[in-house]
């Protein structure tokens, strides 16, 4: 059969192939278009906050070989560090390191808590803690509610629990609570548990009791200084840390004592006897629920020392934590004068000569310049970690909100 004879037969076949080719090409273009669109969506998702956004490596940071899976987080409220476990400390540190990385990106926002409500219930004034929690919640894409006691219905006689229930009724998932009386966050948490609701309470400082997020950010600041790639509790083992100042009134000191002792660090407290009564050691052993022989839990070598002079506390110290004189909590004249206090317990560059040469100084802020720390030292980047504490605060608080918020999603 000649080719010409085949033509009438082949013609319809060729036509069919041609139209199928167009059709296939059309489908190919569509598929390619969809793939490109998806890729674009994924790259710009953090900007658009769409659900395709890549999550940060949580907490499996490439830098954290000992990462714990997030769904091991079982704590529903964060009220105190007294019973925090090593695993919990490490989970917070590694999660915060991941968020620190997010905060170094051009787009510093992730959709992790999108749709959740974080209410900042600050019954006591605050600058950095409140702003830091607010920014942390916003960086996680949560909706935030801010409450300030002075401009609230509390001035009309509303109780703390009724205020909390009002925020609960608005769909709050996490309440960050600060109050000048110890135990208020615990009381709100107990009421929420009694009501059987899944709202989490985060203690942002209650009276002289505890300030867990501050101690965790202090821990993170120190651990990332020692090993930026993999901050872990054990990095502090054997380090000497002096806590100096108004220990009696300090919730920061109390929370820091738990975390530092848990790390195996040697903790030296220094203050005049009026601000560091002997009873303080008993308080710690009572709070931990164990006898004074085995002073503190979670610590391989429990070591806590009390000093009424500064020098022995500073001798060979790796880190010095200074504390503000909490004049608003002092009910009696506990100090002869601020000038004398500064002379005896104020941290200056000269006094740092007792410490290790590369010693670093921390302060939770706000600072009484020239009282607990000299103005010059406070601003000296060679020694002062104060600014990096503030920056670490956002990453650590993102970690805490994330762990509480995503814990809820897992349960
Ligand atoms: C501390 C606090 O409020 O307990 N500050 C803070 O949260 N950054 C310490 C203080 O007020 O001295």
11 part of a folded domain: no
53 by DSSP, 3-state: which?
coil
Contact of 212 with 79, CB cutoff 8 Å: yes
Asked if residue 400 and residue 283 are part of one domain, the reply reads no
Q: Taking Cα atoms as reference points, which of 168, 173, 257, 154 lies closest to residue 208?
A: 257
Q: What percent of the chain has pLDDT over 70?
A: 77
Going edge to edge, which strands form the sheet with 240-244?
304-307, 266-270, 240-244, 319-322, 360-362
46 alpha carbon to ligand 1 midpoint, in Å? 33
The closest-lying atom of ligand 1 relative to the alpha carbon of residue 214 is: 7
Q: Taking Cα atoms as reference points, which of 57, 134, 143 lies closest to residue 97?
A: 57
Asked if residue 379 and residue 344 are part of one domain, the reply reads yes
CA 80-126-221 angle, to 5 degrees, is 60
CATH number for the domain spanning 355: value is 3.40.50.1370
The closest-lying atom of ligand 1 relative to the alpha carbon of residue 251 is: 4
| Strands of 123-189, DSSP E | 143-148, 174-179
DSSP labels, 275-309: TS-THHHHHHHHHHTS-STT-STT-SS--EEEESS
C-alpha torsion angle, residues 340, 128, 392, 359 (rounded to 10): -10
Residue 129 CA, chain-centre distance (Å), reads: 10
List the beta bridge partners of residue 244.
270, 322
Contact of 204 with 228, CB cutoff 8 Å: no
Structure tokens at 230: 């993999």
Question: Could you give the CA distance from residue 75 to residue 69 in angstroms, rounded to a whole number?
Answer: 14
> Which domain does 346 fall in, by range?
212-391
Helices 251-263 and 86-103 cross at an angle (nearest 10°) of: 110
Asked if residue 195 and residue 269 are part of one domain, the reply reads no
Please give the pLDDT value at position 28. 54
133 alpha carbon to ligand 1 midpoint, in Å? 14
146 alpha carbon to ligand 1 midpoint, in Å? 19
Mutate to test the pocket of ligand 1, among 129, 177, 396 (most ligand atoms within 8 A of CB): 129
Question: Could you give the CA distance from residue 400 to residue 201 in angstroms, rounded to a whole number?
Answer: 11
Contact of 381 with 91, CB cutoff 8 Å: no
44 part of a folded domain: no
Asked if residue 306 and residue 228 are part of one domain, the reply reads yes
Mutate to test the pocket of ligand 1, among 245, 253, 365 (most ligand atoms within 8 A of CB): 365
124 alpha carbon to ligand 1 midpoint, in Å? 11
Q: What does DSSP assign to residue 353?
A: G
Structure tokens at 83: 């019973």
Residue 302 CA, chain-centre distance (Å), reads: 25
22 part of a folded domain: no
Asked if residue 294 and residue 332 are part of one domain, the reply reads yes
Asked if residue 116 and residue 254 are part of one domain, the reply reads no
Q: What does DSSP assign to residue 52?
A: T
Q: What does DSSP assign to residue 230?
A: S
Global pTM exceeds 0.85: no
Please give the pLDDT value at position 11. 56
405 part of a folded domain: yes
Please give the pLDDT value at position 406. 85
Asked if residue 175 and residue 87 are part of one domain, the reply reads yes
Asked if residue 187 and residue 96 are part of one domain, the reply reads yes
Q: Taking Cα atoms as reference points, which of 305, 195, 208, 284 lies closest to residue 251?
A: 208
Q: In 10 A of CB 350, how many CB atoms?
A: 9
Q: What is the pLDDT along the chain (411 residues), one digit of tens a residue?
A: 444 444 444 454 445 545 544 554 455 566 555 655 555 454 444 434 333 333 444 544 333 334 444 457 999 999 999 999 999 999 999 999 999 999 999 999 999 999 999 999 999 989 999 999 999 999 999 999 999 888 788 888 899 999 999 999 999 999 999 999 999 999 999 999 999 999 999 999 999 999 999 999 999 999 999 999 999 999 999 999 999 999 999 999 999 999 999 999 999 999 999 999 877 777 766 665 433 333 444 444 458 888 999 999 999 999 999 999 987 887 777 888 899 999 999 999 999 999 999 999 999 999 999 999 999 999 999 999 999 999 999 999 999 999 999 864 333
40 part of a folded domain: no
- Burial letters 124-144, b for 16+ CB under 10 A, else e: bebebbbebbbbbbbbbbbbb
Asked if residue 348 and residue 327 are part of one domain, the reply reads yes
Asked if residue 245 and residue 114 are part of one domain, the reply reads no
185 by DSSP, 3-state: which?
helix
Task: Give tens-digit pLDDT for 263-315.
Answer: 999 999 999 999 998 777 777 666 654 333 334 444 444 588 889 999 999 99
Asked if residue 331 and residue 319 are part of one domain, the reply reads yes
Task: Give tens-digit pLDDT for 313-334.
Answer: 999 999 999 999 987 887 777 8
Q: Which residues line ligand 1 (CB under 6 A)?
A: 128-129, 205, 211, 214, 251-252, 324, 326, 364-365
3 part of a folded domain: no
The closest-lying atom of ligand 1 relative to the alpha carbon of residue 250 is: 4
List the beta bridge partners of residue 175.
119, 201
Please give the pLDDT value at position 331. 75
31 part of a folded domain: no
Total domains, the chain: 2
- C-alpha count within 13 angstroms, C-beta hemisphere, residue 220: 32
């Amino acid at each position: 059969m000649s080719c010409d004879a085949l033509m009438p037969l082949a013609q319809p076949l060729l036509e069919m192939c041609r139209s199928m080719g167009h059709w296939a090409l059309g489908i190919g273009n569509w598929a390619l278009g969809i793939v490109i669109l998806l890729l674009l969506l994924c790259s710009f998702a953090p900007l658009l906050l769409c659900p395709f956004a890549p999550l940060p490596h949580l907490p499996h940071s490439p830098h954290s070989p000992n990462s714990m899976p997030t769904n091991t987080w079982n704590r529903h409220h964060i009220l105190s560090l007294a019973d925090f476990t090593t695993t919990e400390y490490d989970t917070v540190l590694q999660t915060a390191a991941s968020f620190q990385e997010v905060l170094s990106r051009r787009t510093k926002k992730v959709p992790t808590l999108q749709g959740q409500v974080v209410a900042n219930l600050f019954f006591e004034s605050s600058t950095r803690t409140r702003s830091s929690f607010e920014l942390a919640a916003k960086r996680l894409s949560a909706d935030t509610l801010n409450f300030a006691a002075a401009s609230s219905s509390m001035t009309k006689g509303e109780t703390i629990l009724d205020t909390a229930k009002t925020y609960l009724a608005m769909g709050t998932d996490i309440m960050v609570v600060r109050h000048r009386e110890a135990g208020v966050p615990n009381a709100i948490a107990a009421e929420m548990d009694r009501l059987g609701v899944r709202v989490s309470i985060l203690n942002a400082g209650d009276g002289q009791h505890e300030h867990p997020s501050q101690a965790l950010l202090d821990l993170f600041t120190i651990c990332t200084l020692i090993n930026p790639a993999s901050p872990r509790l054990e990095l502090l083992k054997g380090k000497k840390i002096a806590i100096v100042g108004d220990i009696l009134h300090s919730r920061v000191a109390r929370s820091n004592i738990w975390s530092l002792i848990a790390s195996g660090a040697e903790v030296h407290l220094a203050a005049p006897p009026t601000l560091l009564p002997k009873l303080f050691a008993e308080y710690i052993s009572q709070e931990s629920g164990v006898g004074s022989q085995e002073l503190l839990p979670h610590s391989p070598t429990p070591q806590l020392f009390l000093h009424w002079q500064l020098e022995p506390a500073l001798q060979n110290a790796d880190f010095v934590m200074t504390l503000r004189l909490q004049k608003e909590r002092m009910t009696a004249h506990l100090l002869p004068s601020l000038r004398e206090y500064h002379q005896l317990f104020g941290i200056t560059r000269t006094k740092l000569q007792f410490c290790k040469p590369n010693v670093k100084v921390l302060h939770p802020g706000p600072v009484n310049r020239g009282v607990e720390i000299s103005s010059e030292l406070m601003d000296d980047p060679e020694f002062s970690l104060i600014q990096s504490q503030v920056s670490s605060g956002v990453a650590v608080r993102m970690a805490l909100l994330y762990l509480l918020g995503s814990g809820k999603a897992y349960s």
